[in-house]
Structures are given as structure tokens and as C-alpha cells.
Amino acid sequence: MQLIVDANPVISILIKPGKPIDLLFVEELELVAPELLFEEIENNKELIVKKSGLIKEEIDKFIEILKKKIKVIPEEEFLKYKEEAERICPDEKDITYFALALYLKSPIWSNEKKLKEQNRIVVYATHELMDIFGID
């Protein structure tokens, strides 16, 4: 299953690893994201370090692992879907993720309940994916 990865579940995993981290290594999942994902992680790095109790170098190593696990799709590839994404996305800061989801016809992994307030893109929360893949 191809899955668009939103920043919030990844940042949550960085702050508090645990069972959800296993989702990053499920063979059946092909994780993809816009470049925006890693920009959001970088913008929140201080918060991640503060809340996780890890040092910056440990976070950087984990980000490098994420960059190998998550395929980044350049925004130019799905730019033509942005207008449609603007119409259906319930949260303007997630329009890029919705545009990519429309382009790839893939669901999104996000813990933002608000994103489920539309009927075009399937949005899975972490706990739903853990149930689907038998992670407990």
C-alpha cells in the first residue's frame, strides 16, 4: 500500500518512539511524502529535541533513516492537483499533502482528525494503521 506521510505522526514518533515506529518498517507500506514533510520536521527540530529528551545528533540520525524510508516526490510533479486540493482539504496547511494524494491516488497517514472532514481522500490515523498491520 502506498501511503502519503504527513508530518504530525512522524514528529510524534520522533518525540516519543514506541510501537508506532514499527509502521515505518512495514514491508507492505511504500511511504511517500512531499518535500514539505522534511521542512516541517526541520522547523520543529528544537521542539522535538526538547520534548523527546534526545540530543540533536540522535534526532539527525533518525531523520537520515527517515529520508531513506520515505520517498520524496518533488512538488512540480503534482502541482496541477493543488487547486483541487485547496477545494477539498479541510486544513490549508495540509493542501500539499492532499495534492500529492490526489496525484498518486493514495491515502494519507495523519493524526489530524480535521482531515477526515472530507470524502475524497482516505486518511488513516496511526492507531488505524497499527490495527490494519497487526502492530500492538
Q: Could you tell me which of 125, 122, 119 has the C-alpha nearest to residue 87? A: 119
Give the pLDDT of residue 14.
93
List, for residues 77-121, the tens digit of each pLDDT value.
Answer: 999 999 999 999 999 999 999 999 999 999 999 999 999 999 999
Please compute the mean of the pLDDT values over residues 62-76 and round it to a whole number.
96
Please compute the mean of the pLDDT values over residues 40-47 and round it to a whole number.
95
Give the pLDDT of residue 17.
85
CATH number, span 2-132: 3.40.50.1010
Domain ranges of the chain: 2-132
| Whole-structure pTM value | 0.95
Of all residues in the chain, the percent with pLDDT exceeding 90 is 98
